[in-house]
Amino acid sequence: MQSIPLPWGVSPLLENKLPLLLASASGAEGETYAKGVALAATLTLIIVYVSAQLFGELAIRIGLPAVLGELIAGLVIGISGLHVLMLNEGTQVADWMVAAVSWIAGSSTASTRQIFDGPVQILFDDYAQNGVGILLFKIGLEADLKELIRVGSQATSVAISGVILPFALGFWGLSAIFHLETIPAMFGAAALTATSIGITSRIMQDMGVLNTREGQIILGAAVLDDILGIAILAVAVGIADHGTIDIAGVLGTVVSAVLFVATAITLNRSFGPVYINFLSRFGNPYSILIGAITFLVFMAAVAEAIGLESILGCFVAGIVLGNTSATKELEKACDPLVALFATIFFVTIGAKTDLTVLNLSNPSSQVGLSIALFLILVAIATKMAAGYVVFTPYKVNRLAIGTGMVPRGEVGLVFAGLGASTGALSASVNVAIVLMVMGTTFVAPPMLRWAFAREVTVSS
């Protein structure tokens, strides 16, 4: 589960570094320190956007979605490459970045490095979280609610099978083949159940298939996966922390999530049009957009307050305000926000991916690689199999549905991060989960494009 990102609340990163920032700010010469922060953030931002545009364009030219290029851009400038965008705890930005900012701002090397370790990390972490929130809000706006309701049972069958199959096979394999103990095996298997709605929806949006029947089934199943994944994560963390399962807490989370989404669907017809009509009465030409963003922040806060992911609240906010007189206007207004912030989100996923775990001379990495290979195979095979479990009287592209559930992305990293924070995961298992997330995230865009193109070819 993710904390509400700034400005929606105080992120964990800010909580951890706030004392450091306050101390450094009070001890530094104010103007020089502020200039250093501005220069460091601006330089990093320029490199992020230029690299994202460059690799995104290269991806498009070879027939792949731009999001894949943005992920690769993150690999190039992040912890596995040039060390320009460093968001992992305990890592440091490249010396040449520090030297450039120190020279221009006139600040000391120590102060500049502190800026990159503090304010810059906080800014980009929260830019990324805001990016996925705005992206999911726009996806909610674009969702065909009638179609989403119509495919509800179909999406449910995909989601349930897409959780049970990977968890059962993953837990069995990690326990029987690799002889892991129960708790790390549970975390590894739980990470397999996730689906990255942010990455999948962006890919389908780029391909123009989001509003197809398959796209709506994938979207609905991904939302349900999120709900079921939260419940499984709660079980795993509860066992790791207390050695027991809080059944009441798990059931409460599931019920809260279901009621949250159901309430949003109801509000779409009652509250949504009334709220938009109220906003349209103001003379400010941006009142509808400002009101919508305010509602987005509110729903993210509500989701967090009832124990759900804030990004689910963002998606739900889009559903509530969808199919109104201002929907098209809001979609158009969100486009530049998505371009600015969602791009950062996808670049940061690549930037946080540490390819040094592929070091075969490290015994921990060797074990992790073998577990990772198993997890990747299970992750792909079981989600694709779930696409064939969909119960529908209509002819649908089952291969595309299953393929759309493959990427784990940031959701899988949440499982790995929480597992590591409890101390339940060994280095090899943590490496394996990260590699599984990397593998499914990078293979999903070309696989999904191939699956939809194959259906078109067969149909024609």
The C-alpha angle with vertex 143 and arms to 56 and 58, in degrees rounded to 5, equals: 10
Phi-psi region of 339 (alpha: psi -120 to 50; beta: other; left: phi over 0): alpha
Of residues 21, 29, 209, 191, the one with CA closest to residue 115? 21
Contact by Cβ (8 Å): 77, 45: no
Which residue segments constitute the domains of the chain, with CATH numbers given? 12-127 (no CATH), 136-459 (1.20.1530.20)
Angle, in degrees to the nearest 10, between helices 427-459 and 66-77: 160
pLDDT at 176: 92
The confidence band for 54, taking pLDDT boundaries of 50, 70 and 90, is: very high
Question: Measured between alpha carbons, how far apart are the two ends of the chain, in Å?
Answer: 43
pLDDT at 44: 93
Q: In the numeric block, which tokens belong to residue 247?
A: 């059944």
Q: In the numeric block, which tokens belong to residue 315?
A: 């998606």
Alpha helical stretches, state H, 8-151: 12-27, 30-61, 66-77, 95-105, 109-115, 121-142, 145-150
Out of 153-157, 332-336, 360-364, 389-393, the most confident range is 332-336
Whole-number mean pLDDT of the chain? 80
* pLDDT > 70: percent of the chain: 79
Of residues 352, 343, 359, the one with CA closest to residue 412? 352
pLDDT at 439: 83
Total-model pTM: 0.72
Locus of tokens 């006139």: 106
pLDDT at 458: 43
The confidence band for 259, taking pLDDT boundaries of 50, 70 and 90, is: confident
Neighbours of 155 (CB within 10 A): 26
Q: In the numeric block, which tokens belong to residue 316?
A: 């739900």
